[in-house]
A and B are shown apart, each in its own frame.
Chain A
């Protein structure tokens, strides 16, 4: 039985790496008593896989996890077992069973939404940054992994600034995976180049992950 679970990685555990998160889920599921299938081989481990890597330092509102259950489990029973043993910062959202042939999360998720909180004092400047980026025909940054100059404009799907009482939130929808992928640090670099430095960001997180097909976005939990 294959299941897909949506969860929140809260701010207190924002500095956990992808590998730490895999470990966290393995242990959580072992504690819960939920029976998960084991892989074969010398070092058996639980069959589970996480969605696209969330960069160290970010928390995530809607992250995803696939797992293969062993035996009959209902959603309610699963939820009650797991919610009793969750570590600090983790919350479980929606979950459902998925057909066995569903593409893996890593391959399926191709768009992510990042949000950056900006205080009042910087909101004015942030509007300028968003306009500037939107109008730019290319946005050249130096990629950290290979020091190559790259245009990330094609990978930025949408940019918005949402004003609120405390200041504003900048929302960026970007491509994940493939040659156009935009990594979060690259986005931060581009924002800085266009007038919004890192010290203007009081918080940042990943708001959501999507499977994008042309102009339509659907959540990994939708058919």
Chain B
């Protein structure tokens, strides 16, 4: 029925295939034979959500369970959202075209602060109360996971339960718990969820604030609610579930290829990087399994490219062998191998060259900072020599394009560091002139640094918007280089990201009021209006600079302190001190344990298939 009504409105919207499901490998289980039904809700448009690895894993994992099912829903693009409201069509799942309200659990993936308003919008489109405390006995549980659950507080008003850490085991536990407690009241059921390792139920705590706005006290109101919530972790990734028959979108999506997660975690130890902490320690899959996964995935999907996904794929201990055999096996049929962001060193270029046997791609390097001094501050262990020799190798091998990523506004940054970026780009440009017949495209991406929870820089101030704009102007004025394109992140976006990233519970009212004013799709420049948030902050009596520009002290209770990522606060603080002293910290895979505390705290170990 709903499908019939959709046929009439879909000709009126852009990219209607976002809303019609029926993709290859879609799983639709018999609704009435299933005990607990969950829908995976991604707070961004279909093409973005369908590129997300975590969602593919959970979809396969949950649907493999005989008693559970998982379907999918994405944020409808504004044209569709508007029509759905006009025609009274509730947000529905793409498998069985059922309203989200009919599911037992709605699970949001929180990847990025600027998608939060879409979470509210999707709940509202689904006719589910956006505020957790207003939900009734019959409403589904709204849960959320993903990296941003490591500071869940800004979303605490809207989410019934957060999953913190690797979701594979927790989500199954959670669905079993829901099944078991069906007969109980909603508040009893919520309390029971809090017993699960890796689950955080925000309604079970009360916060008190000091006059200066910092947290005075965080109180657990029920015995089920642990004072600190420890992150869940899959200790043996190699034997963990992996989806070799993912849904294949018809539409071109962002990552339109077979994805192999070669490992989880990275311990290079870049001090700005949250992923480097919250996915530690490195756990690898064996090359043998990966090769089989590649075969199976290509066979079930028909993709023509395999992407080796991880935070730092060149660090995979058997990378040479893996790439070579994938290219040998699948290359003759025109199937390529893609490597996401590489380290700027000759080894990585060698790997990329292996991949080039099938297709020419753009090489991407992220030196992050323009001078050695600043790279030492952030513990980016790559030298100018590394970068230049990597570029030389790339140009000699005939690469057509190079992308370089830098960050602006890192702690201790001065004009010299900005000059350093420009100088480095100029040197690379000169190299290109010497080495290449046709000048390759050089593209420079500049992001503004946003300090993140659970990193050594979690206490540091972020650059103000004016400062960001000044840095941008400086680079543009001094960095005019022919055929080089500088691309800057939007400063207003980075500023809002900064507010929410280190925000507390009080930001809930800001997000709510901004959404009511019209905020949605904030991560899309054409839809982002910072005024909604400025007005909402003012209405709530909150000062954005309190969150963004303030230096926090060691004694302050940070809103995310209760989330136990495994890392010790002492380690983070010591790393912060070392940063200011310009001292680097080696990779624990090579130089032995650096005492970050994660392995012993979580009871896991480095898992390197090729040995240390």
Interface of A with B (CB < 8 Å)?
Answer: 12-17, 19-20, 23-24, 26-31, 38, 42-46, 56-57, 85, 87-89
Contacts and interface: CB of A to CB of B under 8 A. Distances in A.
A48 to B, nearest CB: 13
Interface stretch (B18-26, B196-204, B467-475): B18-26
A16 B24 CA distance: 13
A88 B252 contact: no
B333 A15 contact: no
Interface of B: 7, 10-11, 16-17, 19-20, 22-24, 26, 248, 250-252, 298-304, 333-335, 358-360
Residue among B300, B302, B333, B360 having the largest count of chain A Cβ atoms under 10 Å: B302
Contact of A30 (B17, B22, B251, B333): B333
Given A16-B250, A17-B17, A46-B334, A26 B302 contact: yes
Given A19-B252, A44-B359, A88-B24, A30 B304 contact: yes
A46 B303 CA distance: 12
A20 B252 CA distance: 7
Contacts of A87: 23-24, 248
A13 B17 CA distance: 8
26 contacts: A12-B22, A13-B250, A15-B16, A16-B250, A19-B252, A20-B250, A27-B248, A27-B304, A29-B302, A30-B298, A30-B302, A30-B303, A30-B304, A31-B301, A38-B334, A42-B359, A42-B360, A43-B360, A44-B358, A46-B334, A57-B10, A57-B11, A57-B16, A85-B302, A87-B248, A88-B26
A30 B17 CA distance: 22
Top 3 closest pairs, chain A to chain B, by CB: A27-B302, A30-B302, A31-B302
Nearest to B19: A15
Residue among A15, A24, A30, A46 having the largest count of chain B Cβ atoms under 10 Å: A15
Contacts of A57: 10-11, 16
Contacts of B251: 20
A149 B17 CA distance: 31
A44 B357 CA distance: 11
A42 B358 CA distance: 8
Contact of A44 (B248, B298, B334): B334
Nearest to B8: A199
Contacts of A23: 250, 252
Contacts of B24: 27, 87-88
Contacts of B20: 12-13, 15
A28 B334 contact: no
B17 A20 contact: yes
A89 B22 contact: yes
Given A15-B17, A57-B16, A87-B23, A31 B250 contact: no
A42 B333 CA distance: 14
A15 B17 CA distance: 5
B359 A28 contact: no
Contacts of A16: 17, 250
